[in-house]
Every structure is written in C-alpha cells, then in structure tokens.
A and B are shown apart, each in its own frame.
Chain A
C-alpha cells in the first residue's frame, strides 16, 4: 500500500476569531452528539492575552507508536485516527502528546482527537479556520526513545 504523503491540518487565523466557540460546539457534536464544546471538543480555542490561540492535533503522529494495541493509525488520507473499538483507554497517547491535542472527556474512557472533518470550519461565522495541506514528512515526529539516550 502506498503511504500517504500529505495530510490536511487545521490552520487558525486568530485575528478573525471572536471567541464565540461555535467551532468547539460543532466538534463536540461530531464526537459526542452534544453542543457543550469545551472538554468534549477536539479543538480548543483558548484566550491568549487579548487574542486567541488554537489547540488541536497537527497529525504529527507521535501517538501512533505509543499505542500498545495498535488503535492509532495513519489513514490513507494522512490523518492520524484513533479506533475507539480497539482502544483500551490507557491514556498513554493523552499523556504523551506534546501539544495536548489527544483529548479525554469524562464522558468515556477512550480519548478522541481531531479528524480533520471540517465541521469546525463550517461552524465558524468569521472564517477563522481553514484546512491546509502539508507534507507528512515535514511534521512527522519520532518517538521519545530517540531523545532518551
């Protein structure tokens, strides 16, 4: 099978964001059929001084090698995907994600993450989010073993 070479990841334009969090609500609809946003959303918009910043998966895929049961894989379209049915809820990926993008809600034991579905983009009234295509080789990271010794 040919390995994917690129992946679509979210890009944030903070200058257009009004902090309305429509994106988070749309995201929690996708993952939990709830419009609570917040801890049930894979994308988080956080206050950053007077502006905003986004916390979301950039599909670097460090978590792939962390999963003891192989529940995390890179799909054909390049996105890093967590299979809920295979996951055994150990939170290794949550704990080791360097940017806090593997998310965990109290609603269930299995974590969840951005799947680049675009729901947040469609929900944003100000066009503050977009999906951009990047080369996987540019963002890919190798696991912590290498940094160990």
Chain B
C-alpha cells in the first residue's frame, strides 16, 4: 500500500488507458453560434451577472444581477428560482422548449479556505415530478463558472443535434459547437473533452477544466443525473460528482447537450475578492484543525466518506433493506465501511473542491468491470457514498463488488443511483409477490439480490431498449405503479403502499417508519422525498427531543430553512454537523451545532461585507423556500394532497414486516392508542395492523397541520400572501396568484385541517383564515 509522500507523478491507478484521436473529434465540431464577452471580476462573492443561452433561438445574453435580487434571493438556488419564475410558464413541462436547465453558484462558492465551498445548485422542471427540482453537486464547474464571470448559467431551448457548450474563461468566449463523434457516457466523454480543451498538455491545465455531462442512461430514463467533473492531478483521472435527483440529466440530453465545458484562466485563494479575507482564513483554518483532531473519532469522513453511516443505520434499524421492508439485516456487515475502506485509494486529498479537508469523495481505482460495454476494463469508481450502498442493501446486494459495479454504471450512464436503486428495489418486491414476473419484466429475473439482472436492466436502459418494461420502469416508481394497477396485476393498495415515491420522486435511503418527524422530513418537502431538507430521526426517535407536534413542527421549520441556506450560498452541508466542536454537547442546542452556525454567519459577512446574524441567515432561506413552494402551487401542485407519502414509510405494510418487529408495534399500540394489552390480544393480526395504519396516517396529517401552520401556510399547504409580504417578497404577480389559489381552495372546501382531533386535542388554530390576521 502507498505510504504517503509519493510525488504526484508517481501515483498510478492501474486503470485502462485510452488513446483518443483528438484532432478528428475536434475537426468534426462546427460552431453553430458564439459570443465574445468581457471578462469580469468577482466582487465580494458575486460576479454580478448571469449567462443566458437559448439553443433554439441561438441567442447568448448576459443578465445583470441587481442588489434587489441579491437581497431577496441571496444566490445559488435562490437565483435559480428567480430566473425560472421569469422564464417558464405554470404549465411548462420538462421537455417543453421553454423549460430551462440552470446551474448556479452562490456568493460563498469557490472559496478555498472553508471546507465544503464548491457546490453548484442545479434546477429544472423535473420529468419525475412536473415541478421544480433542485439538486446540489460538487466538482469544479460551479466555482469555475463564477471565476469565468457568471453567477449562474441558464439554458433554454433545444439544439437540433448533439452540441457541446464551451464557456472559455481564458479567452472570454462562449461557443456552441456540434459534437457528433464524442462518446456520450460520462467517464469517457469527460476524459476526451478535458484533453481537447486543456490549453496545455499538463496536469495543471487539465485541472482548469470542468465538464458537465450525462450519459446514455439519462437519454432513455427519467433518472438522468448531471455529472460534474473535477480533474484529479494525482490519479490523473477526471473524477465526477452527481447532481442526482429529479432527472436533470434527462433534461440536459433532451436539449441535445452532450456536455457543457468550462475553462478558467487563473484562480487563487482570493478570486472571490472577499470583503475580509483575514477572517475567512481564520475561520477556515479553525475548521481544518477541528477536522484534523476530531474527524477520526466522529464520522471518519476522511477515511471512508459517508459510507461510515452504513453500520450506524443498520445498528439503529434504519438501513433500508429489501425495499424498506426492514431497517437491518444479518448480512449487512458485508457492506460496512470497513469493507469499502479496503478498496478505497488512500493518502490523496479527496475533496470535490479545493480545500475541503472533510475529503469524503472516495474512489476505488483500478476496479475491473465485469459486465456491459466496458467489461474487462479497469476504471476509477467514484464512491460509493452511503446512499449508493443503501441502494445495495435495499436491493439485497451484499457484495461490495456488485455495489461498485452498480455505482460505476449508474454514474457513467448518467443515472441517479438513488432513484434507480429505490425503484429497482420496488420492482424486486413486486417480483417477489408475483405482481411482476420474468415475462412482464421482459426476461429479467428481478428478484432480490440478483446483481446480474440489476446491471442488465441498466445496460438495457442505456441501449435504449424499446420493450414495455424497460420503457416504463426507467421512468420510475410512479409510472410503474400506475402500469401495474392498470393491468390489474396486483392489489392497488399493496402496490401504492410499497412504492417508495412521493411527488413522483423516489425516496432516498433511510427507513422512516418509526420517526414521525422524519416522515415529515421526506413528505413535507419542496422537491420530493430527499433527506437534504431535514434529518430528524435521531432527534425524534432516539433522543425523543421533539415529542409534541409543536416541537416537531418547529424542527420541520428550522432545519429545512437552515439546510436550504447552504444551497443559496454554494456550500456543502456536511462540514456543518458531520464534524462537531469537542464541546458541542455542552451547548444549549447541540443539534444545531451553534459554533458552526456562528462560523457561517462570520463567513457570509466576511465574504459579502454584510452584517447579518444567525436569524438573518434563516430569513434568507425562508424567502426562497416559500418562493419555491409558491411556484409549486403555481404549477398546480404544492398542496396537502401532493405531500402524500406511501405507507411503507410510515409503518409495516405486510404481515411479515409487522411480525418481524411485533414487540415494537404492540408496545406502540398500547402506549399510543390507549388500547389495553388484553384487548389487543383479542384482535387479529389484520385488525392490529389496521389500527396501526389508521393511527399513523392520522398522525401524519396532524403533523402536516402543525407544520403548515408554523411555516405560515394555509391548512392546504399554500404559502399565504401575508407571509410572503412579511418576508419582503412582494412580487405582485406572485401575491395575486397565491390569493387566487387560496380562494379556489376555500371554494372547494380545502382550507380545513387534515387531522382528526379528539375532544381533548386542538388543531393548530381554531380560527378560519387565521393568516388574514397576520
């Protein structure tokens, strides 16, 4: 094993090397349209303009970022929402010409001193959900976009043939070129384009390129992710990070974009021109030291990345296994982080942006592929991260090599591992019940644990296989549920209860059955069931720190707002609470990590020269969060019915699940529903399960009531104009629309609480139209 201090040139991955005829590839390019632009300077974190490209109309424009826009939307995802509001219509769908693909940065993005400061936020109208999906991603593209002169990139329209969009920050030129010969799959395409566009044949030059792409899988499914490359000078490999959720890569390929390439001339530690670089270096160094001293005793991110979660989740019965039926499994130790640690390449700074010493982006180098078009080749696998390993357990894959193979092909095909993994798990469960079978799956034996069938499924998607099952299954759980029910192949309730999607998006990899707050963390969200809004399982279930509905609602206000803030600024959430100061547990609110919150207050002020406090950060988020919910409402969603979640995420759907945790459920029924032990014993298994089902469904509705009220929404989940005005969001078109929607709901009798309240209980407010008094 390598022992450290190997000179950069001496590192080898052992990967299969490729020779490309770069000249031939480049000669086939034809410039369709282009624009020379004046290179600018970033001031206090902002480039102060965004870039608009219309592929249909062949237009390239610069848009100014105003002070008002900064005040209301901060940056990053906020800017993305503002640009979408100005460009799309309420009935815009993912494949319409006016749909946009937006990549944004944020004022703190590109800082090198503070770990986790290289995130891009990507937005579009999602094919899975028909509403806006936002997804954050590492890699060099976001920082480089800003250093090349733009706070955001907005792409509308569609090209006729495959194109590459080149943003050349060295020459100050944007060009859209046909790209007929390049590979489509990301691991090869990244390599080709990095080689083609690097100014010199040096590692340093290649490190100044970043590529956004999505492979063949993205073309043929709704699970397309965006791969953001970052060149690793030690491994000499274009590595990549994924904006996974919601089908952003599907939109990229629908627009016929093969890749977006960015190139910077120069950058250094103060390319953001912070107002106060000294403070920035001070707080950044403080965090580096914390990570140095404490990471190995806390999350061990530097050694194994997020895979350390596998053993913890299994221990607490939270690791999704066999389509979330169980939260732990006897074989789970086969995929613990210690197993993957053996294969991870060590002693390399594994941040996905410079200066991130949390360094969670692990790889397995020289991995031999055993299926599909790259069979026999040796490649670098980026990951696996926790979520991907969780997909493994969900599909009952207990072999690290199958998980690595799944990880590699999902990435290079441009498929979101989470959506693909969760969906396949559902198909496998349906297969087990006979609702699906070999014939209905077009010859695939999708039983739990069949790694070969899983990979074959991915290869068929990438090949554009036209059979019924592949066509529908690659569009996700929601469509498959409808298909199964339409064909009368199974009990509709069973199918709906088992399919782990909400709003059309597949669940990410946590079992939420025993934590009501976490059910809200998945259901009462903007884009769909993803853990990036709130992760309250421990707080709720283990520590019992938020026992009442009011407590849970407060947590489901604060944490989604707090986590939204990272996306407004171009930051990663991990350095907030995946490393904690040693005295954190002695603070008033350990779950919030107060010292780190203060770091972020100081960080934003040092960058922008503003003078905000911690409440100011939450206010920034609240503005954008409510704006996004309001846009969901505008697009015909964003109501209580859309915050529906499947029962599998609330409780045991099948008898096997109930019986596997029978003590837990019976104790719960006695404690919560007030039934006596004797009466319970007289109930049949089905009656007990029904009782639990009804109780938990009602709990979820009561939670929604409390959360909507806390967030300043109507009982049907619509942000009120009063709330929006209070936040300083006074767009007249938006306010008028919201009022109209609330009036519509009123007429339809929908402005009523969803929970059934007993005599001794009260809903959050007994006043109808309580919001009008604000």
How would you classify the secondary structure of chain A's contact residues: helix, strand, loop or mixed? loop
Is B288 within 8 A of A96, CB to CB? Answer: yes
Q: Is A134 at the interface (CB under 8 A from chain B)?
A: no
Could you mark each residue 208-241 of chain B with 1 if its beta carbon is under 8 Å from any beta carbon of chain A, else 0? 0000000000000000000000000110000000
Residue of A nearest to B346 (CB): A145
Q: Is A77 at the interface (CB under 8 A from chain B)?
A: no
Is A109 within 8 A of B270, CB to CB? Answer: yes
Could you mark each residue 104-136 of chain A with 1 if its beta carbon is under 8 Å from any beta carbon of chain B, else 0? 101001100000000000000000000000000
Q: A144-B296, A148-B302, A149-B300 given as contacts; is B354 within 8 A of A90 (CB)?
A: yes
Q: A65-B4, A96-B288, A109-B281 given as contacts; is B347 within 8 A of A145 (CB)?
A: yes
Q: Is A92 at the interface (CB under 8 A from chain B)?
A: yes
Q: How far is the CA of A94 from the CA of B291 in the complex (A)?
A: 12
Q: How far is the CA of A94 from the CA of B303 in the complex (A)?
A: 20
Q: Is A29 at the interface (CB under 8 A from chain B)?
A: no
Is B5 within 8 A of A69, CB to CB? Answer: no
Q: Which of these, B338, B341, B347, contacts A142 with CB under 8 Å?
A: B347
Is A145 within 8 A of B302, CB to CB? Answer: yes
Is A89 within 8 A of B304, CB to CB? Answer: no
Q: Is A34 at the interface (CB under 8 A from chain B)?
A: no
B289 to A: closest C-beta gap in Å: 5
Q: How far is the CA of A143 from the CA of B349 in the complex (A)?
A: 10
Is B292 within 8 A of A87, CB to CB? Answer: no
Is A70 within 8 A of B233, CB to CB? Answer: yes
B9 to A: closest C-beta gap in Å: 9
Is A87 within 8 A of B269, CB to CB? Answer: yes
Is A92 within 8 A of B346, CB to CB? Answer: no
Could you mark each residue 48-76 of chain A with 1 if its beta carbon is under 8 Å from any beta carbon of chain B, else 0? 00000000000001101111111001100
Is A140 within 8 A of B5, CB to CB? Answer: yes
Interface size class of A (residues with CB under 8 A): 35 or more
Is A68 within 8 A of B281, CB to CB? Answer: no
Q: Is B267 at the interface (CB under 8 A from chain A)?
A: yes
Q: Is A19 at the interface (CB under 8 A from chain B)?
A: no
Is A96 within 8 A of B5, CB to CB? Answer: no
Residue numbers in B under 8 Å from A66 (CB-CB): 349, 357
Q: How far is the CA of A68 from the CA of B354 in the complex (A)?
A: 6
Q: Is B515 at the interface (CB under 8 A from chain A)?
A: no
Q: Is B26 at the interface (CB under 8 A from chain A)?
A: no
Q: Is B295 at the interface (CB under 8 A from chain A)?
A: yes
Residue numbers in B under 8 Å from A61 (CB-CB): 5
Is A149 within 8 A of B341, CB to CB? Answer: yes
Residue of A nearest to B203 (CB): A70
Residue of A nearest to B348 (CB): A65
Residue among A143, A145, A146 with most chain B CB within 10 A: A145
Q: A65-B348, A104-B281 given as contacts; is B8 within 8 A of A70 (CB)?
A: yes
Q: A148-B300, A149-B304 given as contacts; is B268 within 8 A of A96 (CB)?
A: no
Q: How far is the CA of A147 from the CA of B302 in the complex (A)?
A: 10
Is A88 within 8 A of B348, CB to CB? Answer: no
Residue numbers in B under 8 Å from A95 (CB-CB): 284-289, 291-292, 357
Q: Which of A79-96 contact B (CB under 8 A)?
A: 86-92, 94-96
Q: How far is the CA of A68 from the CA of B359 in the complex (A)?
A: 10
Q: How far is the CA of A104 from the CA of B354 in the complex (A)?
A: 18
Is B5 within 8 A of A68, CB to CB? Answer: no
Q: Which of B256-289 contact A (CB under 8 A)?
A: 267-270, 277-278, 281, 284-289
Q: Which of these, B112, B267, B338, B347, contacts A65 with CB under 8 Å?
A: B347
Q: Which of these, B4, B278, B338, B341, contacts A143 with CB under 8 Å?
A: B4
Is B269 within 8 A of A69, CB to CB? Answer: no
Residue numbers in A under 8 Å from B357 (CB-CB): 66, 92, 95-96
Residue numbers in B under 8 Å from A87 (CB-CB): 268-269
Residue numbers in A under 8 Å from B354 (CB-CB): 68-69, 88, 90
Is A90 within 8 A of B355, CB to CB? Answer: yes
Residue numbers in B under 8 Å from A98 (CB-CB): 292
Q: How far is the CA of A94 from the CA of B233 in the complex (A)?
A: 21
Is A88 within 8 A of B267, CB to CB? Answer: yes
Residue of B nearest to A95 (CB): B288
Q: Is B351 at the interface (CB under 8 A from chain A)?
A: yes
Residue numbers in A under 8 Å from B268 (CB-CB): 87-89, 109-110
Q: Is B621 at the interface (CB under 8 A from chain A)?
A: no
Q: Is B207 at the interface (CB under 8 A from chain A)?
A: yes
Residue numbers in B under 8 Å from A94 (CB-CB): 285, 288
Residue numbers in B under 8 Å from A64 (CB-CB): 4-5
A81 to B: closest C-beta gap in Å: 12
Residue of A nearest to B234 (CB): A70
Is A89 within 8 A of B113, CB to CB? Answer: yes
Q: Which of these, A62, A65, A89, A148, contacts B270 with CB under 8 Å?
A: A89
Q: Which of these, A70, A92, A110, A142, contacts B355 with CB under 8 Å?
A: A92
Q: How far is the CA of A143 from the CA of B347 in the complex (A)?
A: 6
B245 to A: closest C-beta gap in Å: 27
A93 to B: closest C-beta gap in Å: 9
A69 to B: closest C-beta gap in Å: 7
Could you mark each residue 612-636 of chain B with 1 if its beta carbon is under 8 Å from any beta carbon of chain A, else 0? 0000000000000000000000000
Interchain Cβ contacts under 8 Å between A and B, 21 examples:
A62-B4, A69-B204, A70-B234, A74-B5, A87-B268, A88-B112, A89-B268, A89-B270, A89-B281, A90-B269, A90-B284, A91-B288, A91-B355, A95-B284, A95-B292, A98-B292, A142-B4, A142-B5, A143-B4, A145-B302, A145-B346
**Lowest 5 A-B CB distances belong to which pairs?**
A89-B269, A95-B288, A90-B355, A148-B303, A109-B269
Query: Beyond the given A106-B278, A148-B296, could you list 9 further A-B residue pairs with CB under 8 A, ordered by the A residue number?
Result: A68-B355, A74-B5, A88-B267, A89-B112, A89-B113, A94-B285, A109-B113, A110-B269, A142-B5
